Amino acid sequence: MQNISTMTTEASARRNRKPTRPHATMPQTVLDDILLWLDHAERHLADPASPRANPNLLCALWGPFAKLEPGTDPATGKPCILLNTHTPKREDRAVPETMIAVVQLSLAYGGHLTTNDSGNGFGYLKFGPGRIGITLLRLMLNAGPDEIARQGTLPGGRKAHRSLDPRQYALTTSEGDTQGDTPKRRPVRGRQDLLAMCRETYRKYQHLSTAPKLTEEEYLSLIERALALHDAIHELGSDRGEG
């Protein structure tokens, strides 16, 4: 078993690596599936009697994804997508379907999806190269400047760190945080930073023949649409929060 010193040294080395190249652009067929999923998910939200969106529409493998598979969140028992990346490969993350749509759309024109090593043995999915990144957890909870996402405790006092179900987390400020382990750098990045990052990658790579055929406005609106769907589903409580 590795000691804390070794884990910290290895995490530091990973953080200091040169930024990786952006991932490949999203195939048009993948985008078409995500658009169909969005249509069906919005219809189900408006009318729960309509069929639930098919999660398999979100599971085509491309770019950074080594695994995208419909599953059940082990912490909550709710439907999710089990996600894993090629590098660095970790244990599967249980991610809400709505956030899988956000993740994929945000990478449609390249960009980076990596694991941010915390130095304590845990890793957090984030967008952006090197130390410039936005964690998926902050995007999921729409965290604002100086807000910290904290995970609640499950029965028996355990925490399911691989679960990204929003029901498990709450936001607190660094000043009001009572759980310790406050981040060394003030957390400030959020959804607007993600949109700015996506705008930049769009402008760099939208000319590629393999890139989806969208205008910049259409592309950013799609990301905002997926985020709005995520917020709407998870504000409705556990009975309907199955995204």
- Alpha helices for 47-174 (secondary structure H): 97-106, 136-141
Whole-model pTM above 0.85?
A: no
The sign of the CA dihedral 122, 22, 140, 87 is negative
Taking CA atoms, 4 is separated from 23, 91, 99, 118, 131, in Å, by 32, 19, 32, 12, 21
Q: What is the model's pLDDT at position 133?
A: 74
User: CB-based contacts of 202: which residues, under 8 Å, 6+ apart?
Assistant: 109, 216, 219, 220
Helix pair angle (216-234, 97-106), 10° resolution? 160
Helix pair angle (191-205, 97-106), 10° resolution? 40
Q: What is the model's pLDDT at position 88?
A: 63
* Rounded-to-integer distance, Cα 135 and Cα 233, Å: 21
User: CB-based contacts of 119: which residues, under 8 Å, 6+ apart?
Assistant: 7, 8, 11, 12
| Residues lower than pLDDT 70 in the chain | 1-22, 87-89, 116-123, 129-132, 151-161, 174-187, 236-243
Q: What is the model's pLDDT at position 19?
A: 45
